[in-house]
């Protein structure tokens, strides 16, 4: 869960790599470093803190035309200068940047210590670089062979870039589990954990697959599988634009991404609803329609916000298509010997497509013969390549660590899948199909309205509650997962403790927390359980709790008793998460900003969690 960037060519790669590291800071931001060749030696600069702290260390005159860099999210060893990457081998012959975890590093380290190796850091990566050096010296082989041989001893996940002091023309790469992509330029190559660092220079990209090693120079590239077969690389044309990964006038990526939601929903739905013939056009679904016919259930695996999107999908698919759905935390699923049937469809939700737990859950499902369906936002990601079929959310790059537009895009794809299954299983009338698809095709207008009309009010409310220590989020039916998402957003960016609950569960415990200081955010837009949630609202007010209510326009019941009311446009029940999530995102955003938190890069978090 770190970011790797590299350059090899004629230009000065140092500013290119530094700029690239800034783009990848969302992957980890506790320390960073670079390595480049100078006069036959490997020069390393590294620093605890942000990439800007590293940048300040590097003299403007430094020059390197083979450079690699790293931005770290600590796993082994706390954030510090010495634990920062790149790491160099004891004899200063080889340096490495690494994203992932070497699980058996302890035993390898023990062996190396017995052979006289000494270590300066607490990292697993320093063990790997010394292992490569040892293998190279011992077997007298080339760097690429040493990397290959060393990796046969390693258990874990990694993407690595390796440089040698003896070779100022080549970089060696390897990948298993963590992403690595090569950008192909004119007489130059780039490497990165995702293409954003080199998008400005080239749109030609080669994604390394697991169990592959590569050697790149400025004008040559060779890829080998671990069993030494030569692979001819597939060059992909990137469709991402540079503006998509810049802030575009917004203070933060998160705010930009919240405001991009109407557009990302339009992009995600584009061409997928054929109104006239009432068809949902999803290639992944169509290609696996026979399995959908046979399936007795769907299992959804995901983590974090994507897991919450899975919960929304459960309500929608069961509600519309009457097909049972189970939603699992990917991390729990893989370790509890789940029962997976041959005809199961296992759907993974993942923005990044790189989440280690979700990947492992999918692999387990694959071993048991289930059909794997991916709902990912990143084309070329590990999950999108692992699954049998899938549907991309076209939310565009999400850079803020807190997921916003990816969530609503996942919800919109869930509605499409639910409609497609409902039609297949003949569970939906033409009228209902029309009502939902009509509403979906215009939902972006209501999302836009919500953004424009609620923003200032939410900002005022957020100012009032910025010093709260706790918050409770309540919702029923489809608003329950929305409540969970509201609570998660608040926790992760403002560090205020928050809980999401099904509203009726409040009286089974959380009601004890209610007092005059406790804000409760209640989502009460849905007609189908309005009276019940009104009772919950009264229970809160009877105990002097502070009540912030998200209600539909024209509400005149809960609005009368709530301390603060946020009115949102009415919409079809199944689409309500697309609207109701927005005020909660803005509320967390403004609270975090008023508290002075780094909204885009919250402490301890990283955008994609590529370790278990």
Instruction: Show which residues are catalytic.
Output: 2, 607
Cβ proximity to ligand M6R: between 173 and 584 the closer is 584
Q: For residue 519, give both structure tokens.
A: 């804000």
Q: Are 242 and 199 in contact (CB under 8 A)?
A: yes
Q: For residue 4, give both structure tokens.
A: 């790797």
Question: In this structure, how many other beta carbons lie within 10 angstroms of the beta carbon of residue 569?
Answer: 16
Cβ proximity to ligand M6R: between 88 and 378 the closer is 378
Cβ proximity to ligand M6R: between 260 and 492 the closer is 492
Non-local (6+) Cβ contacts of 128 within 8 A are 96, 98, 102, 105, 108, 150, 154, 158, 160
Cβ proximity to ligand M6R: between 123 and 352 the closer is 352
Min dist CB 305 to ligand M6R, Å, is 3
Q: For residue 389, give both structure tokens.
A: 């079929």
- Mode of pairing for the β-strands spanning 273-274 and 279-280: antiparallel
Q: Which helix (H) or strand (E) holds 497?
A: strand 497-502
Min dist CB 606 to ligand M6R, Å, is 8
What angle (nearest 5°) sits at the alpha carbon of residue 94, between those of residues 91 and 95? 115
- Distance (Å, rounded) from C-alpha 30 to C-alpha 441? 42
- Distance (Å, rounded) from C-alpha 494 to C-alpha 491? 6
Cβ proximity to ligand M6R: between 370 and 490 the closer is 490
Cβ proximity to ligand M6R: between 31 and 306 the closer is 306
Instruction: Give the phi and the psi of residue 31 in degrees, each rounded to 5.
Output: -170, 160
Cα 612–chain centre separation = 14
Min dist CB 10 to ligand M6R, Å, is 36
Min dist CB 351 to ligand M6R, Å, is 3
The secondary structure of 512-545 as a DSSP string is GG-STT-EEEEEE--GGGHHHHHHHHHHHHHTT-
Cβ proximity to ligand M6R: between 267 and 398 the closer is 398
Q: Which residue has the tokens 């326009």?
A: 553
Cβ proximity to ligand M6R: between 303 and 327 the closer is 303
Cis peptide bond N-terminal to 86, omega within 30? yes
Torsion on CA atoms 484, 485, 486, 487, rounded to nearest 10: 50
- Distance (Å, rounded) from C-alpha 160 to C-alpha 180? 8
- Distance (Å, rounded) from C-alpha 129 to C-alpha 118? 12
The one-character DSSP state at 612 is -
Non-local (6+) Cβ contacts of 21 within 8 A are 3, 5, 32, 34, 51, 54, 69, 70, 71, 197
What angle (nearest 5°) sits at the alpha carbon of residue 237, between those of residues 236 and 243? 130
- Distance (Å, rounded) from C-alpha 420 to C-alpha 426? 10
Min dist CB 455 to ligand M6R, Å, is 20
Residue nearest to ligand M6R (CB): 304
Cβ proximity to ligand M6R: between 31 and 610 the closer is 610
Min dist CB 377 to ligand M6R, Å, is 8
- Secondary structure E strands in 140-272: 156-164, 167-176, 181-185, 188-192, 204-207, 212-216, 221-225, 230-231, 236-237
Binding-site ranges for ligand M6R (CB under 6 A): 303-306, 350-352, 355, 358, 401-403, 492, 605, 608-609
Instruction: Give the phi and the psi of residue 585 in degrees, each rounded to 5.
Output: -65, -45
Cα 329–chain centre separation = 15
Min dist CB 309 to ligand M6R, Å, is 8
Q: Which residues pair with 48 in a beta bridge?
A: 31
């Amino acid at each position: 869960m770190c970011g790797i960037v590299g350059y090899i060519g004629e230009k000065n790669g140092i500013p290119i790599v530094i700029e690239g590291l800034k783009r990848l800071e969302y992957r980890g931001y506790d320390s960073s470093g670079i390595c480049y060749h100078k006069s036959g030696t490997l020069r390393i600069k590294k620093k605890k803190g942000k990439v800007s702290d590293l940048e300040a260390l590097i003299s403007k005159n430094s020059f390197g035309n083979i450079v690699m860099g790293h931005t770290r999210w600590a796993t082994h060893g706390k954030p510090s200068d010495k634990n920062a990457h790149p790491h160099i081998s004891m004899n200063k012959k080889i340096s490495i940047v690494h994203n992932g975890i070497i699980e058996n590093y302890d035993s390898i380290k023990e062996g190396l210590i017995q052979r006289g190796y000494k270590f300066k850091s607490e990292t697993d990566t320093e063990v790997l670089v010394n292992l490569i050096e040892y293998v190279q010296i011992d077997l007298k082989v080339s760097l690429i062979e040493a990397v290959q041989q060393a990796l046969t001893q390693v258990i874990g996940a990694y993407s690595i870039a390796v440089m040698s002091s003896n070779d100022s023309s080549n970089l060696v790469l390897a990948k298993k589990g963590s992403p690595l992509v090569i950008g192909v330029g004119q007489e130059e190559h780039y490497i990165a954990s995702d293409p954003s660092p080199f998008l400005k220079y080239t749109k030609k990209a080669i994604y390394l697959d697991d169990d592959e090693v590569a050697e790149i120079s400025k004008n040559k590239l060779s890829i080998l599988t671990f069993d030494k077969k030569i692979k001819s690389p597939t060059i992909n044309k990137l469709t991402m634009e540079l503006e998509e990964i810049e802030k575009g006038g917004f203070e933060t990526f998160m705010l930009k991404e919240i405001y991009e939601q109407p557009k990302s929903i339009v992009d995600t739905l584009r061409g997928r609803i054929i109104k006239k013939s009432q068809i949902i056009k999803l290639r992944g679904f169509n290609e696996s329609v026979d399995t959908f016919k046979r399936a007795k259930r769907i299992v959804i695996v995901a983590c974090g916000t994507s897991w919450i999107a899975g919960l929304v999908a459960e309500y929608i698919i069961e509600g519309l298509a009457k097909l049972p759905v189970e939603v699992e935390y990917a991390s729990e699923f893989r370790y509890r010997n789940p029962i997976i049937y041959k005809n199961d469809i296992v759907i993974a939700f993942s923005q990044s497509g790189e989440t280690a737990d979700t990947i492992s859950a999918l692999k387990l499902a694959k071993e048991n013969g289930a059909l794997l369906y991916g709902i990912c936002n990143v084309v070329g990601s590990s999950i999108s390549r692992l699954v049998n079929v899938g549907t991309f959310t076209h939310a565009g790059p999400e850079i803020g660590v807190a997921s916003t537009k990816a969530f609503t895009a996942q919800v919109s794809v869930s509605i499409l899948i639910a409609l497609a299954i409902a039609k297949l299983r003949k569970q939906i009338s033409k009228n209902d199909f029309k009502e939902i698809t009509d509403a979906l095709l215009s939902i972006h207008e209501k999302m836009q309205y919500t953004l424009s009309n609620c923003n200032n009010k939410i900002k005022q409310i957020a100012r009032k509650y910025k010093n709260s220590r706790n918050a409770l989020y309540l919702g029923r039916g489809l608003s329950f997962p929305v409540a969970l998402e509201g609570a998660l957003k608040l926790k992760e960016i403002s560090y205020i403790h928050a809980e999401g609950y099904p509203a009726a569960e409040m009286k089974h415990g959380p009601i004890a927390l209610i007092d005059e200081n406790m804000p409760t955010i209640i989502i009460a837009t849905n007609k189908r359980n309005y009276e019940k949630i009104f009772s919950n609202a009264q229970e809160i007010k009877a105990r002097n709790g502070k009540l912030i209510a998200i209600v539909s326009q024209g509400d005149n019941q809960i609005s009368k008793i709530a301390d603060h009311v946020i009115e949102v446009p009415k919409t079809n029940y199944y689409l309500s998460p697309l609207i109701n999530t927005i005020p909660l995102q803005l509320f967390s955003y403004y609270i975090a900003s008023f508290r002075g938190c780094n909204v885009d890069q919250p402490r301890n978090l990283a955008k994609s969690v590529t370790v278990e």
